[in-house]
Structure 1
Amino acid sequence: MARARLNSGNGIDEELPKTKINKASLSNVGKLLKYLKPYRAKFIIGMFFLFLSSVSLLAFPALMGSMVDAAQGKQGLAFIPANIKSIGIIAFIILFFQSFVSFFRIRLFVEVAEKTLADIRRDTYFNLITLPMDFFANRRVGELNSRLSADLSQIQDTMTTTFAEMIRQAILLVGGISFLFIVSVKLTLLNLSILPVIVIIAVFFGKFIRSLSRKAQDKLAESNTIVQETLQGISNVKAFVNEAYEANRYQNSLKAVVDLALRGASYRGLFASFILFCIFGAVVSVIWYGSDLIARGELSVGALTTYIISSLFVAGSMGSFPELYANVQKAVGATERVIEILEEDKEQVSIHPEENEIKERIKGGLQFDQVKFAYPSRREITVLKDISFSANVGEKIAIVGPSGTGKSTLAALILGFYKPQQGHILFDNKDANDFKLTDIRNQVAIVPQDVLLFGGSIRENIAYGKLTATPEEVIEASKRANAHDFIMSFPEGYDTLVGERGIKLSGGQRQRIAIARALLKDPAILILDEATSSLDSESERLVQNALEELMKNRTSIIIAHRLSTIREANKIIVIEKGRVVESGTHYELLQHETGLYRYLSNLQQEKIDG
């Protein structure tokens, strides 16, 4: 899980988890690198420009040192002229050259990274929307969205910046150290005798400080959770007069955060002091020893200047590697999560519209034959047990029963969201597995209890049932769904924006738009999943009239809570604890004195009378 980290203010940013770099993780990186293949020529040219810009940078310490020697009338490095003006001109020529190649290097790397990431984003999204429902049932939307945003952004940053910077710093490090040996072997050996001690202490001390920092971040996250829980349940807090309890809980959490933060600050202060002492101590040592070498005639002032500038290059390169390596670890972790989506088994659905067109028509016959089903994430709980029933073309079949008996699961099975573990589902006496999945879904429509509308216009939401629908077809479907009048009452009519998830519309209005959408689809089989259970009486009347229009001349599976809405059904299937316990017409089932349907009917009638 991603860990929260403190930003420069008081908020919390999301920090992507780091992954150890090993053979398996590098294998995943290799799978994504294939996306670079179409752009490999530009990538290679960008790498060449990167090499040129990095190597040219190494010339500056030598030029600056030679300029100091030239000012004293001495010859610096043999291949550099002992003339201040000439050295200055050479420096500006190299600077211009470096700026020129740096521009093209950055331009090429960004182009390659953007196009590569666009391809990865496209394939990840395309694969994501063709995954089976079970995949989404076990993951949060925020987590999946993070993979398309945060994870891919981390990969993008690594490709455009981190990767190039690591190569650049590696060239500067290797070239810088080599140059230090050329300038002065004695000074370089002095530095190398100090460096291992600093690095070892810094690594171990740094890990300890990061551990403290993570604990402080976790504590802060806990305190923020207390705030979130308290505000979400503020009515309960006030109802139980627990304001003092919550205040004390939050205060104790903050105290723990402060204690950890102060402890961490103490160690960070010690660490910072140690590093400063080592860095400036190394500088003083180099200048001290270098001055002694100058006094003895073993080193020139310009050579010492060259050495100090080169040392700064080397130190800067070494200091940048921990952060760069951490970014690479995050990118490797992000790669693993993206690869997981790309390698998931997809449904038999295409992202190309022409491949999803109906190949085999369904007339509307439906049959469940001894179907047994448990959700893949909860295989120990059998939801449906030997369910059998049939619906002839054009019949209305109602499914009733107590909550949690598997009624809505039937709808998911009809749509092919899941496959039964045993038994068969048949359309027109032909096994569902013999149909293309897109053929089934193209000819089955559902009007759920909680209608989800997209954030566009009413017209777009209705036309979602048939993307090629004309404006006239959209209006005709709306009229048949009792939706046209309320749509035209809005100033912008069919172009009215419904808001996120249709929040600007009432429940009844959303239902009628969903019915218009289903009418436009013109399915062979219609599923009504408690489509009127959460509506007031007036909205229910309008929606029920629209549903009657929708159910004409098509097979309808009505999952109902209000039994008054299914009295005219051709057959009522009563389910209890995942089994069919009764079936028949409304009047036949009322004759069973000990039957569940009669009990439920009487219970609802008592509520109405009461």
Structure 2
Amino acid sequence: MNRKENFISTYKFIDIFLKGYKGNLLLFFISCFFDYFLYIITPIIFGLMLDQIVYYKNISLFLSISSLIIVFLFFYIFLYVHMYKQHDILTTGFIMNVKKKAYEHLLESKSIYFINKKAGEIVTIVNQYSNDCLAFLIKDIIFNLNNLFNVIFCLAYIYIMNVQLGFLISLLIPISVFFSTLLNKKINSLFNNNRVLKEKYDGRIFDLLANFTEIKFLSGEKNAIKIFSFENNKLLDNKLKVDTSINNLKILYEGINLIIQLIIYSLLAIFSYRNQLTIGMISVILIYFFDIGKCLSAIVHSNLVAQERINNIHELKMFLHSESEKEYDGYDDIQITAGQIDFCKVNFSYKKKADILKDLSLSMSPGERIAIVGESGSGKSTLALLLLRFMEIQSGGIFIDNQDITKFSVKSLRRNIGIVQQQILVFPGTLRENITMGKMDVSDEKILDACNRAGLNDFLRMQPEKLDTWISDTENIFSGGQLQMLGIARICLEDPAILIFDEATRGLDKISETKVLASWENLTQNKTAIMITHKLSNTNYCDRVIVLKAGEIIETGAPNEVLIRSAELKKLFNTGGGYD
């Protein structure tokens, strides 16, 4: 656990999300308190009832007390139902409030965050660690407070009955605190390590699932299982250490508790023999003794497990405080008329990694179509990400129509730049909703025109429901080329001044590729456009080709001219590596 993080600081963080749910949490606490109160009052009533029968033969009082216990039972059931009704409200409302905030921040996060985290790690933080917020409030605060109340009440009753027994049982408290403190640091370190390993494990699972087809195609199952087993064994080994440490604590605690039990049994036998305690009193003392032991054990165990939850919630807190695009300067909307793009001495690198772009300068004239090629890691896609401000340059400047893009709002910049990537997002909904991305103010006429310009009209004609065709997340009705056309139809609605095709034809068959390239030619008339490609034939659809190597421009010119004189371009397209 971070040294600055404890129960109080963790609660203060969670309190931000409790707006509108504090009443439900208070009702849950009150219901839980009365539930515990009834639980600890019942033994006293039972002991009284037992004494009335054994010593006084008072049947009428016995029956009256029995009736009272039945009333308590019905009240207990009512409290139980009410308590978990509040729990359900907190589960559906409060947790969703935390997850919504986390998801909103996820959409606003700077892209650099996703480079340092795997998808599985992010899902764990957003989903699982959000659940830990409610678990912390209920298990680590409310239940612990009620357990503490239970211990105090039971101990006070035993002191009233017999001071010697009360003192002996009181020894359990410092023993519990001692063992809790003894292993707290070690357990905390193991829990923190377990969290890191769990995030990596989840990330690895997501990677394997995302590349499932490729693994099968390349017969890489054995290697995938090897990787999975390695991560799984590390996680299990750490969990074994955690469980062993906790169990060792329990064994020590229970051993000392057993010794105290034997002493208490001996004293109770002596007091009973001397008629200093009734059978009813002895019954209550025994029940309370076991309750005290159970509550102290629960508090110790909860305190240890709470360290893991505090670590998890701290990780969620760090995520919500990670860099956001809201921190970007610029509130005015950018106005793009011509589409002149200038990269001026741009330098960029990911954290703790080598430079991706080195003092790069590039000018694109209005209406010019440029193809960018280069080996993997040369900085092709990075240029597009920087232009869209998904990443921030370390030095230099990027200008559109002589306007520094950092001086304007990110949303207005991205509205003016359309991008089609290799992977196209499809979500459950109608075809209309998938094209408009949920926008409600777009007419069907405009949508159909976008489909026609994107080359999606043939697909649309085959659908009986047309724009109302339902797109399921379990059944893919699109081919690869049709997915790209769906992406193109989306940007046709926006009619941006600048277009980017980032490996948009990769993996497509020849017919689909031809259709996508026809859409490119249609859409890029009088628009500044960038095509990031791995295919030599695609460069012929552009006015100029840029060859990148290790973050620097080494060749530029008309496609045919560059191919003749550029050894690097010949190497790229003649030695495999995904190029043709």
Which range, TM-score by smaller chain? 0.7 to 0.9
Question: What is the TM-score normalised by the length of structure 2?
Answer: 0.80
- Match for 2:548 among 566, 572, 575? 575
2:566 maps to 595
- In structure 2, the CA distance between the partners of 1:589 and 1:199, relative to structure 1 (3 Å rule), is closer
Query: Partner letter of residue 35 of structure 1?
Result: F
Of stretches 545-554 and 490-499 in structure 1, the one that deviates more from structure 2 is 490-499
- Match for 1:361 among 335, 343, 368? 335
What is the total number of aligned residue pairs between the two structures?
Answer: 578
Q: Distance in 2 between matches of 1:231 and 1:245?
A: 14
- In structure 2, the CA distance between the partners of 1:386 and 1:288, relative to structure 1 (3 Å rule), is closer
Q: Distance in 2 between matches of 1:253 and 1:129?
A: 29
Confirm or deny that 1:324 pairs with 2:331: no
1:387 maps to 360
- Match for 1:167 among 130, 145, 151? 145
- In structure 2, the CA distance between the partners of 1:20 and 1:96, relative to structure 1 (3 Å rule), is farther
In 2, are the aligned partners of 1:573 and 1:583 still within 8 Å (CA)? yes
Which structure: larger Rg? Answer: 1
- In structure 2, the CA distance between the partners of 1:171 and 1:21, relative to structure 1 (3 Å rule), is farther
In 1, are the aligned partners of 2:188 and 2:304 still within 8 Å (CA)? no
Query: Partner letter of residue 553 of structure 1?
Result: N
Q: Distance in 1 between matches of 2:193 and 2:352?
A: 34
Of stretches 148-157 and 595-604 in structure 1, the one that deviates more from structure 2 is 595-604
Matched residue of 2:342: which SS? Answer: strand
Query: Partner letter of residue 336 of structure 2?
Result: I
Question: What is the TM-score normalised by the length of structure 1?
Answer: 0.77
2:46 maps to 64
- In structure 2, the CA distance between the partners of 1:598 and 1:63, relative to structure 1 (3 Å rule), is closer
Query: Partner letter of residue 392 of structure 1?
Result: S
Confirm or deny that 1:445 pairs with 2:418: yes
In 1, are the aligned partners of 2:573 and 2:579 still within 8 Å (CA)? no
Q: Distance in 1 between matches of 2:441 and 2:132?
A: 38
1:133 maps to 111
1:559 maps to 532
1:259-298 to structure 2, matched below 5 A, reads 283=261, 285-298=263-276
In 2, are the aligned partners of 1:511 and 1:531 still within 8 Å (CA)? yes
Shift of the alpha carbon at 1:176?
A: 0.5
1:419 maps to 392
In 1, are the aligned partners of 2:346 and 2:398 still within 8 Å (CA)? no
Query: Partner letter of residue 69 of structure 1?
Result: D
In 2, are the aligned partners of 1:398 and 1:560 still within 8 Å (CA)? yes
Q: Distance in 1 between matches of 2:483 and 2:291?
A: 65
Shift of the alpha carbon at 1:342?
A: 1.8
Post-superposition CA distance 1:376-423 (Å, at most 9, x none)? 3244x2222232232233222222334432121111111111122222
- Match for 1:481 among 448, 454, 460? 454
Query: Partner letter of residue 435 of structure 2?
Result: I
Matched residue of 1:486: which SS? Answer: helix
Query: Partner letter of residue 146 of structure 2?
Result: R
In 1, are the aligned partners of 2:155 and 2:170 still within 8 Å (CA)? no
Query: Partner letter of residue 505 of structure 1?
Result: F
1:29-178 to structure 2, matched below 5 A, reads 29-74=11-56, 83-108=61-86, 110-112=88-90, 114-178=92-156
Q: Percent identity of the aligned residues?
A: 24
CA RMSD in angstroms comes to 5.4
Shift of the alpha carbon at 1:372?
A: 2.3
1:207-606 to structure 2, matched below 5 A, reads 283=261, 285-348=263-326, 359-379=333-353, 381-464=354-437, 468-490=441-463, 493-495=466-468, 504-567=477-540, 569-589=542-562, 594-596=565-567, 599=570, 603=574
- In structure 2, the CA distance between the partners of 1:75 and 1:277, relative to structure 1 (3 Å rule), is farther
Matched residue of 2:325: which SS? Answer: coil
Query: Partner letter of residue 430 of structure 1?
Result: Q
In 2, are the aligned partners of 1:401 and 1:576 still within 8 Å (CA)? yes
In 1, are the aligned partners of 2:349 and 2:394 still within 8 Å (CA)? no
Q: Distance in 1 between matches of 2:17 and 2:179?
A: 41
In 1, are the aligned partners of 2:420 and 2:484 still within 8 Å (CA)? yes
Matched residue of 2:17: which SS? Answer: helix
Gaps of 5+ in 2: none
In 2, are the aligned partners of 1:465 and 1:520 still within 8 Å (CA)? no
- In structure 2, the CA distance between the partners of 1:364 and 1:407, relative to structure 1 (3 Å rule), is farther
Shift of the alpha carbon at 1:446?
A: 1.0
In 1, are the aligned partners of 2:36 and 2:150 still within 8 Å (CA)? yes
Shift of the alpha carbon at 1:170?
A: 0.9
In 2, are the aligned partners of 1:466 and 1:520 still within 8 Å (CA)? no
Query: Partner letter of residue 299 of structure 2?
Result: F
Q: Distance in 2 between matches of 1:598 and 1:255?
A: 46
Post-superposition CA distance 1:99-158 (Å, at most 9, x none)? 444544444455356533332222221111101111111111111111222111122223
Query: Partner letter of residue 573 of structure 1?
Result: I
Gaps of 5+ in 1: 1-18, 351-355
In 2, are the aligned partners of 1:425 and 1:432 still within 8 Å (CA)? yes
In 2, are the aligned partners of 1:364 and 1:525 still within 8 Å (CA)? no
Q: Distance in 1 between matches of 2:546 and 2:230?
A: 57
Post-superposition CA distance 1:178-220 (Å, at most 9, x none)? 111111223334445688779978998999999999999x99x
Shift of the alpha carbon at 1:317?
A: 1.2
Q: Distance in 2 between matches of 1:255 and 1:435?
A: 49
Q: Distance in 1 between matches of 2:481 and 2:308?
A: 47
- In structure 2, the CA distance between the partners of 1:276 and 1:54, relative to structure 1 (3 Å rule), is closer
